[in-house]
Amino acid sequence: MSEQGIQEADPATQQDEVPREAEREVVIRVRDLKVAFGEKVIMDGLDLDVMRGEILGFVGGSGQGKSVLTRTILGLVQKAHGTIEVLGEDVDTLNLVQRRALERRFGVMFQQGALFSALTVKQNIQLPMREYLDMSPGLLDEMAMVKLDLVGLPADAAEKSPSELSGGMIKRAALARALALDPDIVFLDEPTSGLDPIGAAEFDQLIVTLKETLGLTVFMVTHDLDSLYSACDRIGALADKRVIAVGPLATMLASDHPWLKAYFGGERAMARMPADHRKEAV
């Protein structure tokens, strides 16, 4: 990875289809979403916009349905009503073929990695490529190595099976698989959970770098305060079955919702908060 190269990449130039001064393109637009399992209503009247080229961090108490929201956007959970537009298309109006085509533009990293345990890391990364793309076997191998290198895994990890990898390596390998098809939107479910602070910081940096070089939009469910402070452009908060606040860190701190106050005003949050925000929080 060349340091020079990263600095050259002005994030603004990534969205050159969109004039800079105009409002940024909304890639995921959720309106009035309701999800219920039987009698139990998980979310009701939820609105959310995700902009192109941003890293949106998503917080919420345990059991508040952060993962359910992700899974609903991905189409893994049925919604009761509401609309979800992804890349300008209402997902309900799409037929199966269109739906599959849309899914190809998602990359998903599950919390536990969800690497196929019967395949090696390389085969895991190649699986979506093999399924959707037509390329020579040599290039297929080389592209798998490119993805491994992008996420910072050593070349000898390619032939290992997922059970031989450490927690951090599993996260990286899962990210490499999520990036296999050069997706537009990447969903990360607690990407830094279970990583040590050094590994977590590296992972945050990696996601920022990838966002800048590949122009990714990242939707990240996380509880890692450092990730929220350092990697995320905006933060969304889920409570009371809807999104109670969305915006940069300052917006979170300005909110007087009791849950957000408890979350960002807690001792752990204060200790890690960037100094310039600390007085806003008080």
Partner 1 sequence: MRTKDITQTMATPDTAEPQAVFRDDAGTLAVVLAGSWSADRARRIEALAAEITDRLAKAPRARLDLSAVDRLDTLGAYVLNRVRHQRETGGGTIEVASKRPEHRVLMDEVGVHDHHQPAPETPFRLVEVLVRIGAAIVRFGRDMAGGATFLGEIVVGSAAVVVGPRKFRGPSLVNQIELIAFNGAPIIMLISFLVGCIVAQQGIFQLQQFGATVFVVNLTGILILRELAVLLTSIMIAGRSGSAITAEIGSMKMREEIDALRVMGLDPIEVLIVPRILALVISLPILTFISSMSGLTGAALVSWLYGGIGMDTFLARLQSVITWKHFAVGLIKAPFMAFVIGLIASLEGLAVKGSSESLGRQVTASVVKAIFMVIVVDALFAMFFSSIAF
The smaller minimum CB distance to partner 1, of residues 87 and 270, is found at: 87
Strand (E) or helix (H) holding 60: strand 55-60
Question: Which are the contacts of 158, defined by CB distance < 8 A and separation ≥ 6?
Answer: 120, 121, 122, 144, 145, 148
Q: Does 97 interact with partner 1 (rule: CB under 8 A)?
A: yes
Helix, strand, coil percentages (3-state) for the chain, rounded to 5, are 45, 25, 35
Task: Find the binding residues for partner 1 in span 129-148 (CB under 8 A).
Answer: 129, 133-136, 138-139, 141-143, 145-147
Cα 196 to chain centroid distance, Å, stands at 19
Alpha helices in the chain (DSSP H): 3-8, 66-74, 96-103, 121-132, 137-150, 167-178, 197-214, 225-230, 249-254, 258-265, 267-272, 275-281
The smaller minimum CB distance to partner 1, of residues 80 and 133, is found at: 133
> Which residue of 45, 75, 215, 247 would you call a contact of partner 1, by CB under 8 A?
215
Separation between Cα atoms, residue 74 and residue 84, nearest integer Å? 10
The smaller minimum CB distance to partner 1, of residues 47 and 131, is found at: 131
The smaller minimum CB distance to partner 1, of residues 165 and 238, is found at: 165
Separation between Cα atoms, residue 208 and residue 71, nearest integer Å? 23
Q: Does 14 interact with partner 1 (rule: CB under 8 A)?
A: yes
> Which residue of 32, 47, 92, 149 would you call a contact of partner 1, by CB under 8 A?
149
Q: Does 1 interact with partner 1 (rule: CB under 8 A)?
A: yes
As measured in angstroms, the least distance from the Cβ of 211 to partner 1 is 12
Pull the structure tokens for residue 101. Answer: 């085509």
Question: Which are the contacts of 19, defined by CB distance < 8 A and separation ≥ 6?
Answer: none
The smaller minimum CB distance to partner 1, of residues 12 and 254, is found at: 12
Q: Does 205 interact with partner 1 (rule: CB under 8 A)?
A: no
Q: Does 105 interact with partner 1 (rule: CB under 8 A)?
A: yes
Q: Binding residues for partner 1, per CB under 8 A?
A: 1-2, 4-6, 8-10, 13-14, 16, 87, 89, 94-95, 97-98, 101-102, 104-105, 117-118, 129, 133-136, 138-139, 141-143, 145-147, 149-150, 155, 161-164, 179, 181-182, 212-215
